[in-house]
Structure 1
Amino acid sequence: MTDKGSRDFEDLIAEGASVPTEGWDFSWFEGRAGEARPSWGYATTMAGWLGRADAVLDVQTGGGEVFGFALANAPRRPRLAVATEGWPPNVAKATALLRPRGVAVVASSEDAPLPFADGTFDLVVSRHPVEPPWGEIARVLEDGGVYFAQHVGPGSVRELVEHFLGAQPDERRDARHPDRERRAAEAAGLEIVDLRAERLRVEFHDIAAVVHFLRKVIWTVPGFTVGAYLPRLRALHERIGTEGAFVAHSTRHLFHARRGGAGRTAHL
């Protein structure tokens, strides 16, 4: 590699390592990485659900960007809107974004019980929960209440994961399989109304985008640091320089589930 190429690599690595990671605003990636979006248009569809709900909870809201967008585009605001988040930088970002819109943001770790009474909400939403707390979701929903969410599916960006970690065991690739999640939801007392899955193209155009992505989406390569993976980062940088964008594929699935019984949203 030429000296110029080496400097380019080092500059890109430094840039990717310096970008703040809080929240779920992915605008920094524009022109550097891209991901096709699922056909169902989650945030826009969620806005329609919000217009028919009385009390709504957004679980693991991140920086509140998706929930805030949906609220801003809802035809009618719910009487009560609450969001939970466990990572302190995201709690601060979500609070700053959502509190002026009348949303209470509650700091709650992902593995803790949801800090709400049974049957508080007629709608629970979530975009990309780390692990859906099915029992807690069912508990805080009223009879007839709806869970509407977009989940990360099995083997998402597998090509990127395996570049850094090698071939993965089946149990990791299948951990987020929608059939497994369906069974867990049903075991918690939820009825699956609709479940859809899609596989979507992802492109990374430079190594800075890869570094930022791995720092932001921390479960992709657990424990990722630039220092630990520098040789693999350099190899991928050279591959992008030779072959063009690195292509991977994300997986997403849409959940529409309902707690049995006749409640405010049972007719939806």
Structure 2
Amino acid sequence: MDDKDRGTGHGGGHPAPAFEALLAEGAAVPTEGWDFSWFEGRATEERPSWGYAMSLAGRLAGARAALDVQTGGGEVLDFALGRAAPKAPVLTVATEGWPANVAKATALLRPRGIAVVASPEEGPLPFADRAFDLVTSRHPVQPLWEEIARVLRPGGTYFAQHVGPRSVFELVEYFLGPQPREVSGARHPERERAAAEAAGLEVVGLRAERLRVEFHDIAAVVHFLRKVVWMVPGFTVEACRPRLRALHERIESGGPFVAHSTRHLVEARRP
């Protein structure tokens, strides 16, 4: 789903008995890593105009020591390093907090000579002060601004794509109902600018976009909520079966469920 062009979906063609089969399919797909290719034709998301992975490749080509924080399954870093070669950094390290993703990222990145370090998402980062001239991250759960500033060398850069406020909240609120303002306002780019500056970083670039997301069948909804577990905390098929059935019927009769993701591109430097 992530970074896919919109395309033809499955909505409208399933008979009612397909509901149980779709639930089972969505519940059976492995959730490790950040490879969203399973969603092809079933759910789609517009791409941010800045093209993070290619932009990351350019930054890596100019770095000497790089750290990718919360790398997921390592897919984005692997792609970017492939485009950055042969000018990739002499040293590149990645961190990840989810054990299944640590194993997947290690298998993918080890052939490139990249160590994947198991590190909790809440920090601290297990590296010395001023160890890197580039720190990157794609969709961190929470940016660790003080830790980022600590491990950056003077003049070093943090370059990342973050999830913005109220991302895919149409789907979240379909299951959870209206959310409090403090929840829906979290991750606002200006709040992150203030937090980065409070940590001693200079924000030199900040761009935000709102992007269309479509879910074409209920299996895609189930897999998405299993994969991105913080969207609807405690989600299970059994607990949400009535809402899932109603949403399945809505998609069958009216077409894709439409939501909107929010993303912002951050560039910050340590003076």
Count matched residues.
Answer: 257
Counterpart residue number, 1:194 = 205
Of the three residues 59, 67, 74, the one matched with 1:57 is 67
Residue type at the aligned position of 1:125: T
Of the three residues 64, 68, 78, the one matched with 2:89 is 78
Residue type at the aligned position of 1:93: K
The CA deviation string for residues 209-262 of structure 1, in whole angstroms up to 9 with x for no partner, is: 0000000011111111111111111110000001000000000000000001xx
What secondary structure, in the 3-state scheme, does the structure 2 residue paired with 1:112 have? coil
Residue type at the aligned position of 1:57: L
Counterpart residue number, 1:90 = 101
The CA deviation string for residues 100-131 of structure 1, in whole angstroms up to 9 with x for no partner, is: 01111000111131000000000000000000
Deviation of 1:152 (Å) = 0.2
* 1:66 maps onto 2:65 in alignment: no
Gaps of 5+ in 1: 261-268
How do 1:212-223 residues align onto structure 2 when only pairs under 5 Å count? 212-223=223-234
* 1:48 maps onto 2:58 in alignment: yes
**Alignment partners' CA distance in 1, 2:74 and 2:234:** 25
Counterpart residue number, 1:24 = 34
* 1:104 maps onto 2:104 in alignment: no
Deviation of 1:133 (Å) = 0.6
Provide the identity percentage.
75
Residue type at the aligned position of 2:124: P
What secondary structure, in the 3-state scheme, does the structure 1 residue paired with 2:136 have? strand
Deviation of 1:145 (Å) = 0.4
What secondary structure, in the 3-state scheme, does the structure 1 residue paired with 2:17 have? helix
Deviation of 1:6 (Å) = 4.3
Residue type at the aligned position of 1:64: G
Counterpart residue number, 1:265 = none
TM-score (norm 1): 0.95
Residue type at the aligned position of 2:103: A
Counterpart residue number, 1:38 = 48
CA RMSD of aligned residues (A): 0.9
Identify the range of structure 1 (5-14 vs 173-182) with the bigger mean alpha-carbon deviation.
5-14
* 1:161 maps onto 2:172 in alignment: yes
Gaps of 5+ in 2: 1-13
**Alignment partners' CA distance in 1, 2:123 and 2:57:** 27
What secondary structure, in the 3-state scheme, does the structure 2 residue paired with 1:62 have? coil
How do 1:127-166 residues align onto structure 2 when only pairs under 5 Å count? 127-166=138-177
**Alignment partners' CA distance in 2, 1:7 and 1:18:** 18
**Alignment partners' CA distance in 2, 1:154 and 1:184:** 15
Of the three residues 9, 19, 32, the one matched with 1:9 is 19
Identify the range of structure 1 (73-82 vs 52-61) with the bigger mean alpha-carbon deviation.
73-82
**Alignment partners' CA distance in 1, 2:230 and 2:207:** 23
TM-score (norm 2): 0.94
Deviation of 1:5 (Å) = 4.0
**Alignment partners' CA distance in 1, 2:234 and 2:95:** 24
What secondary structure, in the 3-state scheme, does the structure 2 residue paired with 1:221 have? coil
The CA deviation string for residues 18-39 of structure 1, in whole angstroms up to 9 with x for no partner, is: 0000000000000000000000
Identify the range of structure 1 (124-133 vs 105-114) with the bigger mean alpha-carbon deviation.
105-114
Of the three residues 207, 217, 233, the one matched with 2:218 is 207
Residue type at the aligned position of 1:53: A
Counterpart residue number, 1:264 = none
